[in-house]
Every structure is written in C-alpha cells, then in structure tokens.
Amino acid sequence: MSHVTHKKETRMNSRYSQALMFSAALLLLGAPAQADVFVSSEKDNAILQMDADGKVIRSLPVCLRPRHMAWAQGGKQIMMACGDSNQIGVLDLASGKLIDSIPTGESPEIFALSQDSKTAYVSIEDGSQLAAYDVAGKKPLFSVKTGAEPEGVLATADGKTVFVTSEVANAVYKVDVAARKTVAQVKTGMRPRRFAITPDASELWVTNELGSSVSIIDTASMKIKQTLSFTVTGMRASDITPVGMLISSDGKTVWVALGRANHVAEVDVATRTVRGLALVGKRAWGLALSTDGARLYVANGQSDDMTIIDTSNRKALKTVPVGREPHSILTN
C-alpha cells in the first residue's frame, strides 16, 4: 500500500467516524429531522417519535392523555390536546420536553389552529362548546355553544370560518370568527366525528361514525350534497364506524378510517366511489400521509399499533407497535 493511499483512507475513516459521531449527537439531541412520524399514545401519556419505516427513535413524555396534534413554529414544536390535563400542551422537539401549555375547559379532544397560529379553536367535550384561545397570551377569547359532545374542528384557510361537529346532535355548526357566533347548522348522519375539506374549500366531508357513512356538505349553501355509505364484505353495518379522514394534497383522493371494520377506504373525490379497501389493525382512527403521498400511516387504537400502507396499491408494508391506545399521527 502506498503512503498516499494510506493517508487517503485515513482521511476517509476520519470523516466516517465524524459522521457517526454527528449522527449520534443528533439522536441524543432529538433533532426533528431524524424523524418523519409522531404518534400520540393516550394511555402512555407520551408521543412516540419514529422514522418513516416505523422504527422508534424516542418516546417523549408529555401530558395526560394526549390526543389530537398539530405542527407549530414551522415544525419546531408540536401542540397537542391533553384530554385529562385540560390543556393544549406545547412540545419542543429540540429538547424533547413539554415547554408550555394553554389551559382549556374539561376534556379537550380536537383543535384547529388559525392560519397564523395565533388562535387555537378547541372542542370542549364536557362543556358542549367550541372555545377559542389566544395562543401567545394563553387566555380564552370567546366560546360558542354547540350540541353535546363536540369533537371535529376545522378552521378555513381564510380565517373567517370554523366548523365543529356534535356527536349527540348529529350536526355540523358553522361559526363566523369575526361575529363569534354560529351562523349555520346542518344535520348529518349519526355521530359525526371528523372533517376533511377540498382544496378549493367548496366541499366539507364529515365522517358519521354510527351511520357507516360520510356526508358531503356544500360550504356555500351549508346543505348536504351527497352521503357516501361504506360496506365491507363480511362486516355488519354497525361494525363500520368511520372516524379519521384526510384528503390528498391534489384533492383527488379521500382516505377514510373505518374504525371497528379494521379497514381504510380510498375514495375517488370526483366520482364519489370507493376505489378499494386496505386491511389494517383494530379500530383504525388516526391517519396521516407522507409528504410525497406514497405512504399512509394508520393508528389502530385497539391493537396498539400503526399500519403503514403503500398508497399505490393499498397494501400494508408493515404494522409496528406504537404504545397503548394510539390516537393521532403527524408526519413532517
């Protein structure tokens, strides 16, 4: 071996060692770039940080019963509804610690942030209300009464409107943010839960857990345009309980988690037809898509795991454990 070659290999080995040390340091610091998937675990009071293939990076202790999550501070923080802490918690990803909280009413479950992230709109289940909070000031701004057990919340991109469901009233309420009051109400199927809105904001899709269906609402008239019913071979209608739902960035596809039916439905938005079903774990609820839309991540609340779906063929790539009673998933 020549002296030149030896020196070259020594430099390469040195750079390789430095890269390993740098990677290890990032893992210790919990750099958010190392993770693609975050899962809230209601019974573990934690958020699990994983890579895109479902490999666990770390478990982050947070508040009591973390549920719905949302990005904050440009992806540097995660905000979460803390069902048994009665607050919106703020998790800093660099330190891996809960650094702040916003007190709420009892049992918050779902929330939505305004486009500028200055206001949090929270469904307060035990108070039968939608409450708005000043994020920076950590104080309530206003509240609007809803039917019993409000859950799904969606704030429009223009900042003018917030929609909220009521599981007991079987209704969706349209709240005018400026007027701070309900301006429209529409009846849906039984026990409406979550929302998805088309990119042009013309249609609001709502899952009806006890109706085995999705209601499609025209946002201009606040009238039901169509109701899509789901069937799964070998399943009774009462076992098909849609909850989680999301729409692809191009607005062409809606994915619906069918709850106790242990499947996720892929729906063509234009034709209103089900393209097919993906078999997942027990009681599929929370959903998230990878940034490129190639993978669908499904939280299975009763089997304590997450299924990763290849969206090109609706086939499960793998199912991985994610703690007790996973609720929601975020991808960066």
Give per-residue pLDDT as tens, 263-303: 999 999 999 999 999 999 999 999 999 999 999 999 999 99
pLDDT value at 314 more than 70: yes
Enumerate residues 6+ apart whose C-beta is below 8 A from 185: 171, 172, 173, 174, 222
Q: How confident is the model at residue 30 (pLDDT cuts 50, 70, 90)?
A: very low
pLDDT of residue 126: 82
* Displacement of CA 33 from its chain's centroid (Å): 19
pLDDT of residue 169: 97
Amino acid letter for position 243: V
Among candidates 254, 304, 313, 311, which has minimal Cα distance to 284? 304
pLDDT value at 28 more than 80: no
* Displacement of CA 297 from its chain's centroid (Å): 10
Mean predicted confidence (pLDDT) in 96-101:
97
pLDDT of residue 179: 98
pLDDT of residue 90: 97
Mean predicted confidence (pLDDT) in 151-164:
97
pLDDT value at 206 more than 70: yes
Task: Look up residue 106 and give its two tokens.
Answer: 């009892």
Contact 267, 252 (CB under 8 A): no
Can you tell me which residue has the tokens 């701004």? Answer: 141
Longest dimension (CA), the chain: 82
Q: What integer best gives the mean pLDDT of the chain?
A: 91
Q: How confident is the model at residue 260 (pLDDT cuts 50, 70, 90)?
A: very high
Enumerate residues 6+ apart whose C-beta is below 8 A from 297: 37, 287, 288, 289, 290, 306, 307, 308, 309, 329, 331
Can you tell me which residue has the tokens 């039968």? Answer: 128
pLDDT of residue 25: 43
Mean predicted confidence (pLDDT) in 201-226:
98
pLDDT value at 121 more than 80: yes
Mean predicted confidence (pLDDT) in 215-240:
97
Task: Look up residue 281 and give its two tokens.
Answer: 């774990």
Mean predicted confidence (pLDDT) in 110-136:
95
pLDDT value at 10 more than 90: no
Query: Tens digit of pLDDT for each residue in 292-312?
Result: 999 999 999 999 999 999 999
pLDDT of residue 127: 87
Mean predicted confidence (pLDDT) in 206-234:
97
Task: Look up residue 160 and give its two tokens.
Answer: 């003018």
